[in-house]
A and B are shown apart, each in its own frame.
Chain A
Amino acid sequence: MKLTEIVDLINGELLTQEEDYKKDITGAMGADLMSDVLASIKPEAALLTGLCNPQVVRTALIADIRTIIFVRGKNPDRETIRIANEEQIPLITTSLGMFEACGILHKAGLLSYELPANDDCA
């Protein structure tokens, strides 16, 4: 699924430079706990989270996450956006809650991109 389609589906707003708008996303995960994200997300997924601090972008970078979707209308600060631009991780914000955003994207065919908890993290 294209980033543009995701933005449209969840009525979101892209916060970073438009350059990365065409990235293809095939899966997603929703979590607020970064350790859980680090433990289980597959590479190249979209991360939906209500957490909004620079750590989310750092986590994305370490775990090879394609894009971050901030739910519940969270808006990251300038520093967070700057890091995301620098590292080319598109940031999207939506006023929808986690439940709605996940529900809509799942319905639209975006797969769950989380590994079973006991899997290798590679």
Chain B
Amino acid sequence: MTDEHPRVSDEFAKSITRTEELAYELRIHEVMSENVHCLPPDIKLEEALDIFQKERFSGAPVITNGDLVGLISIEDLIRALRSGNLDVNVSEYMTTKVVTVHEYDPVVEALKTFSRTNFGRLPVLDKQGKLVGIITKGDISNGLLTALQRDYHAEELIRYRASHLFEDIVSHRTSLILRYEIRKGDFIHGGNASSNIKRALLRLGATPQIARRCGIAVYEAEMNLIIHTNHGGSLRVEVEPHKITMEAYDDGPGIEDVEQAMKPGYSTATNEIREMGFGAGMGLVNIKRCVDEMRLISSRDRGTNLYMIMYLDDKDNTLNTVN
């Protein structure tokens, strides 16, 4: 609980936009001081002054049975000193009209309250109205600085991983292969593999747009394996610096008319599947829209192979351009 206000340096000013964002993203409970030293309303001001001097406090909440009843600050004590009246209870001089903030409010709410009210500290309450902490401008500055540093480290780590994987390894063709076995009828875990693939792509440095498009395509393919195959099938994703190849294959029953299967709205799904929100006949259409290249090879005796390819080189978003 300090009132020191870290100065904004030139270095810091460069990331001012991110700071502004953080004021909305960070919540008060993430930056506030917990374990607040509280005072009861019925101790003498003399005693409060001693505590303030010893602990170097400039203010403290006053509580009875966990409920906030007021706030006593060093200014209140000075006021009492001036009138030579330190032999009365804290409750006589404390501020009772306390402005509070909620622990899950964004930090920007506290900033607004500070500029509106001129208070130096704001008690923080939980949903039940109990005191859980206190926040000062200094807490906010420290919290923002810590968060900025954390952001920077996370970003650095991702870049390090991505560049390390595809830049420092020298080969004629470097790639990373992810494989998933998908069980027939396994609706409980349906989409699990696709979520993991999407996350992997993001970690490897793919843009959110690329990760989303690949995610959607491979999710539709995964649900097809769950819904339409005899025994499930496999997903195989090969990640290369300039290309992501996603493959779904199964051993049957195969698609009778591939051209018809590609038509929007065409579906062989049962009513039961439709009631689960799938089988609208949009899956393959969706996949085609999402990826750069799609190939569907199917026969009655050999099952189905679906290739989905996303090229990364023409969009300035290859996985190894990170420096």
Q: Cβ of B220 and Cβ of A38 under 8 Å apart? A: yes
CA A18 – CA B102 in complex, angstroms? 12
Of A29-37, A68-76, A91-99, the one touching chain B: A29-37
Ranked 5 nearest A-B pairs via Cβ = A58-B191, A35-B282, A62-B215, A34-B277, A51-B277
Picked from B188, B276, B286, the residue with its CB within 8 Å of the CB of A121 is B286
Closest to A79 in B: B188
Task: List residues of A (18-57) whose CB comes within 8 Å of B's CBs.
Answer: 18-19, 21-22, 32-36, 38-39, 43, 49, 51, 53-56
Taking A61-B198, A62-B195, A62-B219 as contacts, is the C-beta distance between A121 and B277 under 8 angstroms?
no
Taking A51-B277, A62-B212 as contacts, is the C-beta distance between A35 and B220 under 8 angstroms?
yes
Give the chain A neighbours of B290 by CB distance below 8 A.
121-122
Rounded to whole Å, the gap between the CB of B67 and the closest CB of chain A is 21
Query: In terms of DSSP, what is the predominant structure of the interface of chain A?
Result: helix
Picked from A32, A35, A58, the residue with its CB within 8 Å of the CB of B195 is A58
The answer, yes or no, to whether A11 is at the interface (CB within 8 Å) is no
Closest to B193 in A: A58
The answer, yes or no, to whether B187 is at the interface (CB within 8 Å) is yes
Q: Cβ of A18 and Cβ of B104 under 8 Å apart? A: yes
Give the chain A neighbours of B190 by CB distance below 8 A.
54-55, 58
Interface residues on B, range: 20 to 34
Listed residue (A21, A38, A56, A63) with the most chain B CB atoms within 10 angstroms of its CB: A38
Q: Cβ of A122 and Cβ of B286 under 8 Å apart? A: no
Q: Cβ of A38 and Cβ of B277 under 8 Å apart? A: no
Closest to B212 in A: A64
Task: List residues of B (211-249) whose CB comes within 8 Å of A's CBs.
Answer: 212-213, 215-216, 219-220, 223
Q: Cβ of A122 and Cβ of B213 under 8 Å apart? A: yes
Rounded to whole Å, the gap between the CB of A19 and the closest CB of chain B is 7
